[in-house]
Homo-oligomer: A and B are copies of this chain.
C-alpha cells in the first residue's frame, strides 16, 4: 500500500503512517482498522499469518471499497495486476517455461540430428547447464523459437497442456500447477470478492499461461497479459488458422509491463504484485499515480519450504525493486513469516 510501511512495520505504525501520509483521511481513524479487522476474520486469507502485511492488505481493500469513503474506487477501476513466475507460482530452480523448452528440445531432437553438434541445443541434450548459460540471451531466444514457433496456436495449446499434465518439478516431484502459492491464490479470490478484476501481467509467454490460468488462478485467458511471438493468419485446407512465427512480438517485462498494461488492459491498476526487478516499472506505474495504491513484493525467504533468493539469482532477481520498496511504501511479503503455508498440499 502506498501509504503503508513495509512488512517490518507493526499494526499500530501502519495505521498511524497511513493517516500521516493522507491528510484527506480524517474520519476513519477508528472505522478503518475495525472494518479491516472484522473483514480479516472472514477474508479467506487463511494461509496468511496475522501480522502487518496481511493487515495492510485488508486495510487497503477496506478503504478503496468503502462506499462514500475518501479513497473509494468504483469497481470498474479496481484493476489488480499480478506477475506470475515467482509471484503466483514457483520459478526455481528455473522458470517453468524454460523447463518446458528444454523438454521440448529433447522431444524434438530425433527430428533434428543437427542439434547434437549445434549450441545451445547440444548443451540441452547433454544436460550441460554451464554451456547453456554461456549461450546467453541469443541462445535462449534460439531455444524459444525452436520450441514455441512453427505450429498453429491450437497445436501449441495442446503441447503445453500435455506437458503440464506430465512434467514434474525436480525437487517437489509434483505438477508445476500444484506449485502455485496458496496465499496468492487466496489473495486473488479475496480481491475478486471485493470487486477487483484480476489480471496476470507476466514476462512469460502469454500462450504458455492461458491454457491453465483459469483453472489454477481463476483468471480467464482474456485477463492474461504476457510476452508473445508473432502469429500469421492463413487458410489451410479451407480452414483458418493462426501460425506461430519465430519472431518476437512483445516482451512483457521491466518497462514493457506498464506498456503491456496500457496496451492490453487500457486502465491503470490500483494494485500490483510482483517479486523481481522485472516488476519494478509495473509497481511504479501502479503506485505513483496519486490515490491510495497497493504495491506488493513477494520476497523469497524460505529455503526450507521453498527457496530463499533475492539479489543473486539467475531467475527472479530482486535487487532494485527491493531497494525501492521502503521508499515507495510497497509491502514486502516475507514468505517465511507471512505465509502459514506456501502450497495447497502442505
Which residues of A approach B to under 8 Å, CB–CB? 76, 79, 153, 197, 206-207, 210, 214, 220-224, 228, 231-233, 235, 238-240, 242, 249, 255-256, 258-259, 262-267, 281, 284-285, 288-289
With a 10 A CB-CB cut-off, give which of A221, A232, A281 has the most chain B CB atoms.
A221
Report which of B153, B258, B266, B289 forms a contact with A221, defined as CB distance below 8 A: B266
Complex copy number for this chain:
2
Known: A76-B220, A197-B222, A284-B240. Is A266-B210 also a contact (CB below 8 A)?
A: yes
Residues in chain B near residue A197, CB distance under 8 A: 222
From the candidates B76, B222, B249, B288, name the one contacting A267 in the complex (CB within 8 A).
B222
The reply to whether A240 and B288 form a contact with Cβ atoms under 8 Å apart is yes
**B259–A221 contact, CB under 8 A?**
no
- Is there contact, CB below 8 Å, between B288 and A221? no
Q: Which residue of B lies closest to A239 (CB)?
A: B288
Asked whether B206 lies within 8 Å of A266 as measured between CB atoms, the reply is yes
Residues of B within 8 A of A238 (CB): 288
A255 to B239, CA, bound (A): 14
Of the candidates B242, B265, B281, the one whose C-beta lies within 8 Å of that of A262 is: B242
Q: Which of B235, B256, B266, B284 contacts A222 (CB 8 A)?
A: B266
Residues from chain B with a CB closer than 8 A to the CB of A79 are: 222
Given A240-B258, A242-B258, residue A233 in contact with residue B265 (CB < 8 A): no
Please report the C-alpha to C-alpha distance between residue A222 and residue B284 in the assembled complex, in whole angstroms.
20
Q: Other than the known A221-B267, A231-B262, what 18 A-B pairs have Cβ atoms closer than 8 Å?
A: A76-B220, A79-B222, A153-B262, A222-B223, A222-B265, A228-B263, A232-B255, A233-B256, A233-B259, A233-B281, A233-B285, A238-B288, A239-B288, A240-B284, A242-B258, A242-B259, A242-B262, A264-B264
Nearest CB in chain B to that of A256: its residue:
B233
A214 contacts B266, CB within 8 Å? no
Output the residue of A207, A266, A285, A289 with the most chain B CB within 10 A.
A266
**Least CB distance, A135 to chain B, in whole angstroms:** 28
A169 to chain B, nearest CB (A): 26
